[in-house]
Structure 1
């Protein structure tokens, strides 16, 4: 039975309204129409495409950066190559701009077969992928067929709360099942036998697709994903390190100090380089850096309990006079380390050839009466710390974890 075009016009208007509400769909004029949205231009195959032509470079970069964090963490936990996960997400979701990605956060096209299954979203208008015939409401020609969506079980997609959940489901569930799990073992064996990250990741994609992940086969899927992996150099994410330091200005420094065991990342596979450093974290890093041993001196701080994770490190830095309390018997372990405190800490640790003898500071915000004057000027003299372009030192500004890593690395190279 043919359906009137008047009915289709109202459907088109409704679809446009729904699409425009979504914050991602800012270029509705270039939407890839579906048959029930436009009887002349609509295509069933358009259901899989980006909702607008080509995403902007800014949108692409933001998507790659975000997925990189989740994929790196997933790799650390389950093992699938980070570059492959990222490449799959880019291709399957059009950098997060397909209907499935927008409405279900499903960036891998993972299906949930059935008639209105729970926790799923229906992609209306896609081609028939069922094993049985689906009732047709209107037929405008090849790739322009309108199906009875109430009778479909082949176009429902698992709904995720976030991209991160989608990445974790793919890596920790789907790719570990009986069908694809062998590919992960093969990938690990190849890496251990000397294969490059690039070649091992490509072969991994071939094997999961050949096992049924993509109906077009291993060769097609490997070649398709390889293009974006090379375009964005996604293989760099396969290097051992942290999910959120790839491309970061202090990536080399962070990788170095963590390889030495002077600092650690977080259980989720991140380092959080931009996070402010606490005094307890600083105590741990400097203690590990210079190999402090307990002296036996009984030093207690009222705000550092015996069960506190940094208790031993705090005690050691205090015993050696590298870091001191803040007065009134407290250490204030959870407050942020400032630039002045960092300068004083490295000064106390003896990282200098000669104490600065200057009587005046070149920094606008530091004078001779400032409590950390000598430490700041000495660290500047040694080339360990510097000020800002505006002539200030910013003594009260907090130090980030990346900045601490950079200074430690600089001192190590200098020494």
Structure 2
């Protein structure tokens, strides 16, 4: 099937918008949604069995952040949560341009709005609001990890990003306490839904996610936003059953 993406300005000067770079491609049928969920279900269950990161949460997160795998980063890079290469392993711009020097493959999200916030992103042409054409050759803020497969992505997300694996940290904060608390909550008898919603809340509060309000969103509003959108996805697809399977197998 030929997947089409809403254009960014460099692709279409009239219809292109920078914000389109985040939109899932189309068509996205109900059958495609179900297929995506069926493909990631055993992977997410294995991640909970192996690392203790809740399968239910991972499923909801992938739906919310990748549009069932059809965002550009999901489709072209098997990157279902927008994991950026910038800042990985503690390196800071402008040292990072791409992953080649570090043995990592990256994907550049062309046309992405400026997320460097340091004046380094050069505008070639301003066509109007949300219609900027950038000099992409010198950008570091729109480089994302590229993975060979779904299992490779989820393993990296859990082992490196969330649990600070031995290869170093992708995210500059130690997030292990969130998943330690999740396992303790399950052992105390907290429901899977509530405990997974709390994981989303804590990740949001930590600054992990973007919100509709932008980069300066207060921590509690980040918590409320991320908990709401992830829980909605978990509810819709009943990914709680995935965690039940994982906990039964442990």
TM-score bracket for the superposition, by shorter chain length: 0.7 to 0.9
Runs ≥4 in structure 1, deviation > 6 angstroms?
A: none
Match of 2:109 in 1: 123
**Deviation of 1:240 (Å):** 3.5
Q: How many residues align?
A: 218
**Deviation of 1:215 (Å):** 3.0
Contact 2:65 2:80 (8 Å CA) reproduced: yes
Match of 1:188 in 2: 183
**Among candidates 5, 20, 23, match of residue 49 of structure 1:** 23
Alignment of structure 1 residues 323-338 onto 2, 5 Å: none
CA separation in 2, counterparts of 1:172 and 1:241?
17
**RCO higher in structure (CA 8 A, sep ≥6):** 2
Contact 1:75 1:81 (8 Å CA) reproduced: yes
CA separation in 2, counterparts of 1:79 and 1:64?
20
**Deviation of 1:179 (Å):** 2.4
The CA deviation string for residues 301-354 of structure 1, in whole angstroms up to 9 with x for no partner, is: xxxxxxxxxxxxxxxxxxxxxxxxxxxxxxxxxxxxxxxxxxxxxxxxxxxxxx
CA 1:143–1:181: 2 relative to 1, 3 Å = same
**Among candidates 207, 214, 229, match of residue 202 of structure 2:** 207
Match of 1:90 in 2: 63
Contact 2:182 2:195 (8 Å CA) reproduced: yes
CA separation in 2, counterparts of 1:241 and 1:187?
14
Q: What is the alpha-carbon root mean square deviation over aligned residues?
A: 1.7
TM-score (norm 2): 0.83
CA separation in 1, counterparts of 2:182 and 2:246?
18
CA separation in 1, counterparts of 2:163 and 2:129?
38
Match of 2:231 in 1: 226
Alignment of structure 1 residues 13-412 onto 2, 5 Å: 23=1, 26-28=2-4, 31-52=5-26, 55-113=28-86, 114-118=96-100, 119-133=105-119, 134-177=121-164, 178-216=173-211, 217-241=222-246
Where do 5+ consecutive residues of structure 2 fail to align?
87-95, 165-172, 212-221
Contact 2:77 2:146 (8 Å CA) reproduced: yes
TM-score (norm 1): 0.51
Larger-Rg structure = 1
CA separation in 2, counterparts of 1:44 and 1:235?
35
